[in-house]
Amino acid sequence: MTDSSKPTMPGVSRRAVLAGGAALTASLFAPKGLRAQDFPTAAVNTTGLAVTDDTVTIGILHSVTGTMAISETGSVQAEKLAIEQINAQGGILGRKIEYIQEDGASDWPTFAEKAKKLLVNDKVASVMGCWTSASRKAVLPVFEQYNGFLYYPTFYEGLEQSPNVIYTGQEATQQIIAGLDWVNQTKGAKTFYLLGSDYIWPRTSNKIARKHIENFMEGCEVVGEEYYPLGHTQFNSVINKIRLRKPDVIYAIVVGGSNVAFYKQLKAAGIDMTEEKPILLTISVTEDEIRGIGGENIEGAYACMKYFQSLENDNNLEFVKAFKEMWGDDMVIGDVTQAAYLGPWLWKAAVEKAGSFDVDKVREASPGIELTSAPEGYVKVHENHHLWSKTRVGRAKADGQYEVVYETADLVEPDPFPEGYQ
């Protein structure tokens, strides 16, 4: 994957499209086969975006190098799959999607620089991008200044609602609260050791977790809290502290490549997660990270997210099949990868509902957009630009997959500014 200043039209993989196209788009907002001549460029593009009579150009902005590449590569792959499938169906308003891909290189100023290039120089109609909250915070002023539109796929800390972002991952209360309540009620957990990488998402998420543990979970307490820089690889000191404190739960929000060292060192220290003494509950390790960690090093740990590759529904089976057709049988799909896949489809639905590529019109059309065909199941865009979604708990297996052991009965309403947690 390389940076490019010229738009790329993905070559359509017929098998991938056949495997994923029909089932995944059956309930999208607009009918297939819209013709470009019915939507003149002058009418659907009044703000000078990269839209022609035949094509529309978007941006892809993720880290494919540096410590975050282990997590973000899957997002790029999922977005390209969605673009291929949309193009195979005739594109958006009769126009094929081209993309310009930029590498944020796990460096937040680089993300801001590349975002400005995409919006100002390339005039892309939307951007699928970012992973860490640090990268999102770096690009947010750029999107708001130049009125770009970002589809952000990662579960995150909440406390944000931008008119220029659609958040396709879960905000903190959707992901954190259900998982903590589950481990307390199901496993009888009372004591928690909070651990995370040292930036805004883990710190803010653990702040919410601490408030929930101390204020809303009777008889529960936090017995330790530690943070380490992104890319950190020496966890033996904190592992020794954990062994001394003997918490019921290690609540881990370690991010990126640091996960490989952390989980290998946990196992080397004799902490067997299959014995649940202590229980390890994470909100940051998807199947993508397990590829690097090794399933044997994390077997028995629990993760709380909205999506696992092992979900057994028709939408997901078709999605997994198409993804592997395009990227290889050995590839895996994690929560953020699936949320990234939703971005192009949600943008397509909003554009066709609006009848325009203009950002202001797409923004206005976005609330209420719903996909019954998402791999995770039904999702709907809330007025606050987040998604209604279910929350699930999975247990890691040696083969690198999660076994789903719990899911909420109903969709969880997104609440990025929760009372009592700020």
Question: How many distinct structural domains can be found in the chain?
Answer: 2
422 assigned to some structural domain: no
Same structural domain for residues 86 and 207?
no
pLDDT at 156: 93
95 assigned to some structural domain: yes
Same structural domain for residues 217 and 204?
yes
413 assigned to some structural domain: no
Reported as type and span, the H/E element at residue 146 is helix 133-146
Q: In Å, how far are 43, 103, 120, 150, 313 from 146, measured between CA atoms?
A: 21, 20, 7, 12, 40
Residue 254 belongs to a domain with what CATH number?
3.40.50.2300
Per-residue pLDDT tens for 224-263? 999 999 999 999 999 999 999 999 999 999 999 999 999 9
Per-residue pLDDT tens for 200-232? 999 999 999 999 999 999 999 999 999 999 999
- Facing residues of 379 across strands? 371
> Alpha-carbon distance 44 to 138, whole Å?
30
Same structural domain for residues 10 and 148?
yes
* 342 touches 371 (CB < 8 A): yes
Give pTM, 2 decimals.
0.90
Same structural domain for residues 164 and 183?
no
pLDDT at 173: 87
pLDDT at 154: 97
Same structural domain for residues 131 and 104?
yes
Cis check for the bond before 416: say yes or no (omega within 30 of 0): no
Point out the residues of the chain with pLDDT beneath 70.
1-6, 8-33
pLDDT at 13: 41
CA angle 359, 363, 366 (to 5 degrees): 135
Same structural domain for residues 163 and 181?
no
Same structural domain for residues 218 and 135?
no
Same structural domain for residues 378 and 292?
no
41 assigned to some structural domain: yes
416 assigned to some structural domain: no
Same structural domain for residues 65 and 142?
yes
414 assigned to some structural domain: no
361-374 burial by CB neighbour count: b if 16+ within 10 A, else e?
Answer: bbbebbeebbbebb
Domain membership of residue 208 as a residue range: 172-305+392-407
Distance of CA 115 to the CA centre of its chain: 18
380 assigned to some structural domain: yes
> Per-residue DSSP letters for 322-353?
HHHHHH-TT----HHHHHHHHHHHHHHHHHHH
Distance of CA 157 to the CA centre of its chain: 12
Same structural domain for residues 376 and 232?
no
Same structural domain for residues 133 and 23?
yes
pLDDT at 7: 72
Same structural domain for residues 204 and 83?
no
pLDDT at 315: 97
418 assigned to some structural domain: no
